[in-house]
Amino acid sequence: MDMNFVFISPQFPHTYWNFCDRLHRNGVNVLGIGDSPYEELEGCLKGALTEYYRVNSLDHYDEVLRAVGFFTFKYGKIDWVESNNEYWLLQDARLRTDFNMNTGTKVDGIERYKSKAAMKPYYAKAKIPTARCHKITTLEAAYGFLEQTGYPVIVKPDVGVGANDTCKLENREAVEAFFAELPKTPYVMEEFVEGDICSYDVITDSRCEPLFESMTVWPPSIMDIVNKKADLAYYTAAEVPGELRKLGRAAIRAFKVKSRFVHLEFFRLTKAKKGLGKAGDFVGLEVNMRPAGGYTPDMMNFAHATDVYQIWADMVTADRRLLPDSKNHHCCVYASRRSCYQYVHSHEEILEKYGQRIKMCEIMPPLMHAAMGEQMYTAYVDDQDAVAEFIRFVHEKKRDAGEQNDK
């Protein structure tokens, strides 16, 4: 197969070598561009790459542009460029535009994927309820919005990754304090919704049809995980509820999600919200045009006894799913710890109790510590009761540490 695929930053997260490996197995020339020295790449990644081009910084677009130009001169026209990383979405789109690639979103279509405010009309097109949103301009305009929604509200960057720089404003004093040090980057204010975050994770073909679907249930507030250094736990469910599947498919059609592995976030209401729905209903939160963060793709593999990396690679090369659907579905749960706390159960006790059910166990990269914790454990279990027990066992703190945390 004469296909040239440029993979941006293939070394991070480190499990992304799997994307490159499956492309390589499918006969693709996988051309990596990154800012890590070649000798520091893992052997499994080196074996999957046809060639690697190191730049001083991936933030320097001219360097990356020259790298793609070099690959074009050496291997011919580049068919795909992809990072599967939120941070590089705009850069990916610029490269597709500059090199006239039609296998992904170009610059003129990226706003609906990056801007939280720009997402709202597409949810409306899909007839998916979403929280009311206001682009922050003046204090007076914000008070006009608050008259409609009441307190609390969430403020967050209009374009941002995860829960970074997100906070909840619960009263007039908090709003005035926020405006007193108003960030220079565009922000949005959104009505507060009480619910669990459930992601619809999907690999689509070129016709916006799903080739793989999964649901992961996240804590109600990733913001608190980051801002309050809370312990993180979440799980990939064995099945996707029918209503979430319906709304997720409507969203990928409205947003025209073609040939991508994406992560769409929904609230599952824990209490009724006027204008949005009753407890248990799903409400659109935001779309992320890349796979779920951290090692969540691996959790999907463990939960569904499949290989999402291969499904994705087959989408790239064949525009269809070649792996059969497994009937062997479980839950897969992630729980992490922080070094600032003392826990009841030791590392060794966790490994002894769960044994072969532990599928991943490692120290997370420092860049992920704020959101993902430090020492992580990932296990597959039979049901949601077992999910809750695993989280309790990993996270149970010694009383003194717990009291310190409360303070």
- Residue range 248-259, pLDDT digits in tens: 999 999 999 999
* Mean predicted confidence (pLDDT) in 42-56: 98
Please report, rounded to a whole number, the percentage of residues in the chain having pLDDT higher than 70.
96
Q: What is the pLDDT of residue 403?
A: 47
Q: What does the pLDDT look like over 107-146, one tens digit per residue?
A: 998 888 888 999 999 999 999 999 999 999 999 999 999 9
220: pLDDT strictly greater than 80: no
Instruction: Kindly give the pairing relationship between strand 29-34 and strand 4-8.
Output: parallel
- Summarised one tens digit per residue, pLDDT across range 245-302 is 999 999 999 999 999 999 999 999 999 998 899 999 999 999 999 999 889 999 999 9
Mean pLDDT of the chain: 94
pLDDT tens sequence across 24-43: 999 999 999 999 999 999 99
| Cis amide leading into 152 (omega within 30) | yes
pLDDT for 123 equals 96
Buried b (16+ CB within 10 A) or exposed e, 100-137: ebebbbbeeebebbbbbbebbebbeebebbbbebbebe
Give the pLDDT score at 400: 60
**Res 401 pLDDT > 50:** no
| φ, ψ for residue 276, nearest 5 deg | -115, -40
- pLDDT value for 113: 83
User: What local confidence, expressed as pLDDT, does residue 350 receive?
Assistant: 98
Please give the helix or strand (H or E) that residue 154 lies within, else none: strand 153-157
The more confident residue out of 370 and 209 is 209
Q: Give the pLDDT confidence score for residue 239 in this predicted structure.
A: 96
* pLDDT interval class at 321 (50, 70, 90): very high
- Residues 340-356, mean pLDDT to the nearest whole number: 97
pTM beyond 0.85: the answer is yes
Lowest mean pLDDT among 52-61, 167-176, 215-224, 316-325: 215-224
Instruction: Classify the C-alpha dihedral 294-297-299-300 as positive or negative.
Output: positive
d(CA 158, CA 255): 18
| Phi/psi at 46 (5° precision) | -55, -40
